[in-house]
Structure 1
Amino acid sequence: MVLNSDTQEDAKSGVEKFQVKILGDSSAQITEDVLSSSNVGITDSKLSGSASSASLTNGHAAPMYSAGIRNGNETWFEVGRSKTYTPTADDIGHVLKFEYSVVDAVTKSPVGQASTLQTNRVIPAPSPIPRRIIRVDGMGHLDLDRRMTSSGTFTALSYNVLSETCASNDLYSYCPPWALSWPYRRQNLLREIVDYAADIICLQEVQNDHYEEFFAPELDKHGYHSLFKRKTTEVSSGTTIDGCATFFRRDKFSHVKKYEVEFNKAAQSLTEAMIPTAQKKAALNRLVKDNVALIVVLETKVNNQLVDNLGKRQLLCVANTHVHVQQDLKDVKLWQVHTLLKGLEKIATSADTPMLVCGDFNSVPGSAPHALLAMGKVDPSHPDLTVDPLNILRPHSKLVHQLPLVSAYSSFARTAGLAFEQHKRRLDGGTNEPLFTSVTGDFVGTLDYIFYTADSLVVESLLELLDEESLRKDTALPSPGWSSDHIALLAEFRCCKNKSKSRH
């Protein structure tokens, strides 16, 4: 939990005091009725009443439970003096009070009386069963003319973390307000992400302020360098904008080059070149949707095992994107994916580089964008192609690419043995994709993918998928245990030598 105080007076600053309230003998434990109460936590959406193990600091915290201050039947202990405070295990069962005063910047004297905010009793942070890493038969889908050239592997994570601006109580009414609050969710998300210990992390729906103030500095502590590409127009309110953030371990990779894909600019160029003057305004209104992609070229460190046995420079290209969400704009989704893939093709022709294409594509398995990614083309009779009022998808023969992309999670379908049957049951039999990567009150389906170039990479392991029944115990996502409406995907890859550049 984090308690925040913001003052709006430019010439004044606040002095804060954190205190913990002990409610007699009974406060040392949390009773069942407190845990099951619907109003557990604080009513203010900025405050959360749950302890967490995330690596957030409590500033210049005072010694825990030093001399207490009695107030009638209550005893208060000061536990910190900063604008943020993360409850600890010692706080469970107790109440936290945030006390702050406005101080005149010139005289340093308090202005008016101190103000306070008070939480309900702190409860333990929910801890869902950790997801396991499942080893798959990495050689099962390799051609005989290919051989392994490196003993090193790396892991890549893709995760839509659900921005604060999108996490409304109306949309996710089934999630307790304290569990939906950003101060709680950010700690839970950080704990989950850090526990995966991925070498490369692709996050979507990261607000620019959250990237700068939280994700970048916190993951920096764990050895990650980061890059961020925010969307090109405002979303939701004010100047809060979300985007795509890519992190990689400094001890394993170095940054070589970055490409930023702004679909707005591509839409403007397309409209100028193809759309009649009378239709340009309508075309821009339909195509300009602020989505972006961040493409990062990395180089493995010289002392890392991923370097080619012959000493050749080993590069890796990682694309991270968030495709437009509106389901009725099927043409826009497909056009965005096609635009990204054509850009990646240009990069591929300039260097023989393994590629990952990660993100929230807002497209279900079997849709036209998914077909283009997974099959390299879209059948001209595909029903999605009937939605094309601007004729931007014609001729349909142009909807192709030559990248040998394969969905990482389809590797589960190619494994043999009883041990994998449970994981296969969590796949769609027709597409070999997960049954879902997002579960909300009105949607269950797969929107997120990790694609890789199968001529240069092979899947070694996958993060296990979740079963819907376990998630439904909390109605849907997000929940106290899982702090996004999406689940994380993670795959372990091994570099391999390619003798063929053809698809699949």
Structure 2
Amino acid sequence: MSNGMDLPAQVTVNTASHSSGSETLIVRVDQPVEGIDFNVHTLLRGTDGGLITPTSRKVECRWFRSKSRRGCSFENCPNSNRIATIQNLQNGLRYCSNQCFQSAFHNKNKKSSKSSSNSILVTIDEKDRKFISVEPFQEENGWEIISNEKTYVPSKEDVGYILRVECRAVTPDGRISAVANSKETPIVVGLPKPAPPRSLFTNPDSAKLRHQMGMKFDSSKVRILSYNVLADIYATKQLYPYCPMWALSWRVRRKILLREILAYDADIICLQEVQQDHYTEFFYKELEGLGYQGLYKAKTRVAGKIDGCYTLYKKERFRLVESNTIEFNSVARAIARTNAFEQRNDALRRLLKDNVAQIIVLERLDGDMSHTQGGNTLCLANTHIFWDPEYSDVKLWQTHLLLQELERVVRNRKNIPLIFCGDFNSMPSEAVVELLKSEKVSETTKPNDPCNILPPVQSITHSLGLISAYEHVTGNEPRFTNYTGHYVGTLDYIWVSRDSVLPVSTLLIPNEKTLRGTDDTPLPNTRFPSDHLALCVEVEISPTNAQAQTLSMNQYQMQ
């Protein structure tokens, strides 16, 4: 292979730090991961120590791979990026720890064992008794060149090997102004395997409930996904110290997130914590290039990176009829101008939290009822309510305001079906969920209201007739939808109109053992890219709610 650079084909592991001429090139590398763009970070300083702009110099790179594998040979090794320092002289395989060595040995013997159930003796085939000729473990000093580009994408063949990069800065006239000391990477790790498939649980009473409701439902089900994807601005080592930095990085998490989202094959997707730049550079290109149409609404924060809500639907199944957004900050300021708040300045300081919501109306393009006049539209809402437990009054204020707007939209369109998704940052026992579920808030549940931002408790109501899709299908809310080292609880919900939307199936929440995996850590971890779990439900939708019979809540409880 032509190397394209005037650098030696063979290099040694230890290279002294030096510079050529009067400039210094500093190189930094991260953890390489299979299938993920791997960039070299470079910094060039001049004679006075000042930075030299990248446009005035071209940085040329050359990548090498170690000739022998450096990673652990145990298939289920929990330390995929640890260098192997123990060798089995029987077969030459290398391991990162005594535990992996013993586990691999045990697994091999289990496969070849002919022992009876009451014997602990292991019989090893004669051929396995013979030691083969292996080269003892030693520091590798041979490398093979694999790329001359600044960006390299590790392949499956690179997993378990170490990479090495050499860089130099070149002036526009071709003069080499600086050569950096070579850098070795940690062991290339494989892209984590997908988490075990989640089971789809179907309500056995769906047929009976369909009959009780006395309406014809579209036989074409609609699958809905709601997912807080954890914005990169919040994915920090301070919040999640148990997660490897490479697994927290956006370049890795985005690939795992996309793989997971596409696997659900949802007709409607409601995402929260989608960072604005990642919406533009990643989600929009990937999802809307695969048959989805979407609307994004960023939070109203002025400075810094911003996250928001992203609502999508399959273009082959739906058409956008109407879209609205709610900026809770704008509503709070508008109310303050009417002097409705007793403590105006304090109330505003408490309410201005930048949260937003989306409300859209969709028309069905397929299914049994797609051509039924007035019966082929539905209302869809997506929100992310404020997070802080010390601001339960703000959470309730935001939720009540959003419900009032949803009532207006649904009523103006003759009570069309409603699907309401989001991260509500509230447990099932708290006022926000009580309001959504019971259409009112009790005095005992109403949160402390230090700035009097809430109306009287008897006015905190709505008449949308909502049920929780998960509770309806399984009989209970999930035990948790947020599972981190500092908090475990249910914060995410999918609500639907009880008179016109019939939840049929839900994707069950994995158990803790599955979530923690071989890493034995909370979320996020190497297989679960967010601190939240995706909610996914399948529903049947009535063509219209105008003639629907209103049923009491006990008809929707599990028998």
Asked if 1:412 corresponds to 2:473, the answer is: yes
For residues 265 and 125 of structure 1, do their structure 2 counterparts lie closer, same or farther at Cα, with a shift above 3 Å needed? same
Which residue of structure 2 lines up, in the alignment, with residue 296 of structure 1?
360
Which residue of structure 1 lines up, in the alignment, with residue 421 of structure 2? 358
Match of 1:314 among 363, 376, 395: 376
Q: Which residue of 1 aligns with 2:540?
A: 494
1:11 aligns to 2:55 (yes or no): yes
Q: Secondary structure at the match of 1:336?
A: helix
Give matches, 1:447-486, under 5 Å: 447-473=491-517, 474-486=520-532
The 1:329–1:173 alpha-carbon spacing in structure 2 relative to 1, beyond 3 Å, is same
Check whether the contact 2:72–2:82 (CA below 8 A) recurs between aligned residues.
no
Q: Is the counterpart of residue 251 in structure 1 residue 316 in structure 2?
A: yes
Q: 2:297 aligned with 1:229, yes or no? A: yes
CA RMSD of aligned residues (A): 2.9
Deviation of residue 243 (structure 1)?
Answer: 0.6
Same amino acid, percent of matched pairs:
38
Instruction: Give the secondary-structure state (helix, strand or coil) at the position aligned to 1:384.
Output: coil
Q: Deviations 1:107-143 (Å, cap 9, x if unpaired)? A: 5876533686543222333322111222223334446
Superposition deviation, residue 249 in structure 1:
1.5
2:484 is aligned to 440
Give the CA deviation at 1:270: 2.1
How far apart are the structure 1 equivalents of 2:507 and 2:388? Answer: 29
**Cα distance, 1:145 vs structure 2:** 4.6
Look up the SS of the partner of 2:201 in the other structure. strand
Partner of 1:130: 197
Q: State the 1:184 CA deviation.
A: 1.4
Alignment correspondent of 2:451: 390
With over 3 angstroms needed to count, the CA separation of the structure-2 counterparts of 1:366 and 1:17, relative to structure 1, is same
Count, aligned residues: 445
- CA shift, 1:239, in A, is 2.1
Q: Is residue 285 of structure 2 the alignment partner of residue 217 of structure 1?
A: yes
Q: Cα deviation per residue 1:252-311 (whole Å; 9 max; x = unaligned)?
A: 22222221110001111222224467x32211111100011122222222xx22643536
* Structure 1: unaligned runs, 5 residues or longer: 42-71, 415-431
Which residue matches 1:61?
none
SS at match of 1:299: strand
- Between the aligned partners of 1:442 and 1:79, the Cα distance in structure 2 is 43
Q: Determine the structure 2 residue equivalent to 1:421.
A: none
1:55 match: none
- Normalised to the residue count of structure 2, the TM-score between the two structures is 0.73
Asked if the contact 2:200/2:507 (under 8 Å) is kept, the reply is yes
Check conservation: 1:34, 1:40, Cα contact below 8 A: no
Residue 113 of structure 1 pairs with residue 179 of structure 2: yes
1:208 aligns with 2:252: no
Structure 2 unpaired stretches of 5+: 1-32, 44-52, 84-139, 554-559
From 386, 402, 419, the counterpart of 1:340:
402
The answer to whether residue 412 in structure 2 is matched with residue 376 in structure 1 is no
Structure ID, larger Rg: 2
**In 1, Cα distance between equivalents of 2:166 and 2:304:** 29
Instruction: Describe the SS at the equivalent of 1:390.
Output: coil
- The aligned amino acid for 2:188 is V
- Opposite residue 390 of structure 1, the aligned amino acid is C
Find 2:334's aligned residue among 266, 269, 289. Answer: 269
* Alpha carbons of structure 1 residues 23 and 225: separation in structure 2 relative to 1, 3 Å: same
2:167, 2:179 within 8 Å by CA — same for their partners in 1?
no
Instruction: Rate the CA distance shift 1:296–1:276 in 2: closer, same or farther, 3 A.
Output: closer
Counterpart Cα distance in 1 of 2:455 and 2:380: 29
